[in-house]
Every structure is written in structure tokens, then in C-alpha cells.
């Protein structure tokens, strides 16, 4: 009887699924080029939902359905809205390099160029938080001195690195 009771509990616990909303960003500080390079990895279905809401149009990250130029323009505008560098002197130039998708993952490439000389770097990352309140964005910042990781959530969108 006890065995039957536990057997009945298995479907109850195994059917509970939990959806995670996570992106990862690798930031590389290149002092010799005065540049900050970014590689952002997001789940394609989640990013498509967020990008569609941002553009107020249904977007598919499929070059067969949309012009790659149009998709890139939308992603560039999205990137500039949801990932920004805070600079007390002057705003560094943003450059969207491109994107690609592999299976369920979209990879975005961008850079901030002509960085001013600074003693600290501040940024905010709110990728997909407008659509998914539980979104977590993990940023790994690499400098010539080493690596440091940051977690961005809806309650903690800013991060700072002191040089």
C-alpha cells in the first residue's frame, strides 16, 4: 500500500516544470583599442517575444522570412535601449556588429568604441526584463587584470567596475 502511495506521488512532482529566463553576456575590455566588445547569448524564443513587443510587430529571427538588414536594424535599436554604458564624460559610440542563431540560441555581437579614459565603468542591462520579470542577465566582464561576473535582475539593473 505504501508503495502504491509513493507511486501516485511521482507524476505530481515530475510534472511541475519551471521556466528559466536567462541571458549571458561576455564583455571584453580592450584598452589598446579603447573598446568594449560584447557577445550576448539569449534564448531565441524569448528574444523573439521581447523583440516583437519592442517593435510592435511580430518578428521572426529567420532571414528567409525577414530581410537580414531589417532584423539587424531592430536588434541594434533594441540593444541600444536595453544595454547602455554610463559615462560621465561623453557617451561612447555604439556599434552593432551582427547576430546569428544556432538552434534555440541567438548570439548578438556589439561594441562600444572610442571609450573615454575612465576610472570606472558603469552599465545597465535590462534585456527582456520588460517581458519576463524573472529574467536574469549574467555578465562576465574580462579585462587585462582578470574576470568578474555580475547578475542583473529587475531589482538590480546597474553594475559598476572600478579600474
Residue closest to 105 by CA, chosen among 22, 36, 35: 22
Residue with more model confidence, 7 or 53? 53
15 forms beta bridges with: none
Per-residue pLDDT tens for 63-119?
677 788 889 999 999 999 999 998 777 789 999 999 998 888 999 999 999 988 888
Band of the pLDDT at 15, cuts 50, 70, 90? very low
How confident is the model at residue 61, as a pLDDT? 84
Residues present in the chain in total: 163
How confident is the model at residue 156, as a pLDDT? 97
- Neighbouring C-beta atoms of residue 90, cutoff 10 Å: 9
Q: Using CA of residue 123, residue 125, residue 126, residue 127, what is the dihedral sign?
A: positive
Residue closest to 60 by CA, chosen among 71, 76, 73, 75: 71
Per the prediction, the chain carries an average pLDDT of: 87
How confident is the model at residue 1, as a pLDDT? 54
How confident is the model at residue 87, as a pLDDT? 78
* Overall pTM surpassing 0.75 (yes/no): yes
Residue closest to 130 by CA, chosen among 16, 45, 52, 25: 52
Q: What share of the chain is helix, strand, coil (3-state, %, to 5)?
A: 25, 40, 30
**Axis crossing angle, helix 68-82 with helix 44-55, rounded to the nearest 10:** 90
Band of the pLDDT at 17, cuts 50, 70, 90? very low
Residue with more model confidence, 127 or 65? 127
H helices present in the chain, as ranges: 2-14, 44-55, 68-82
Residue with more model confidence, 12 or 103? 103
Considering the chain, what percentage of its residues have pLDDT values greater than 90? 68
Are 58 and 87 a contacting pair, CB within 8 Å? no
Amino acid at each position: 500500500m505504501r508503495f502504491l502511495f509513493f507511486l501516485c506521488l511521482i507524476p505530481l512532482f515530475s510534472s511541475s516544470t519551471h521556466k528559466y529566463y536567462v541571458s549571458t553576456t561576455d564583455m571584453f575590455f580592450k584598452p589598446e583599442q579603447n573598446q568594449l566588445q560584447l557577445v550576448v547569448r539569449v534564448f531565441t524564443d524569448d528574444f523573439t517575444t521581447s523583440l516583437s513587443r519592442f517593435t510592435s510587430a511580430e518578428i521572426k529571427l529567420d532571414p528567409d522570412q525577414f530581410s537580414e538588414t531589417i532584423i539587424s536594424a531592430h536588434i541594434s535599436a533594441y540593444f541600444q535601449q536595453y544595454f547602455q554604458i554610463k559615462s560621465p564624460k561623453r557617451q561612447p559610440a555604439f556599434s552593432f556588429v551582427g547576430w546569428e542563431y544556432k538552434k534555440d540560441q541567438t548570439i548578438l555581437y556589439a561594441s562600444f568604441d572610442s571609450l573615454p579614459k575612465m576610472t570606472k565603468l558603469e552599465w545597465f542591462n535590462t534585456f527582456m526584463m520588460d517581458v519576463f520579470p524573472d529574467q536574469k542577465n549574467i555578465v562576465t566582464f574580462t579585462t587585462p587584470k582578470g574576470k568578474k561576473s555580475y547578475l542583473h535582475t529587475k531589482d538590480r539593473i546597474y553594475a559598476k567596475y572600478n579600474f
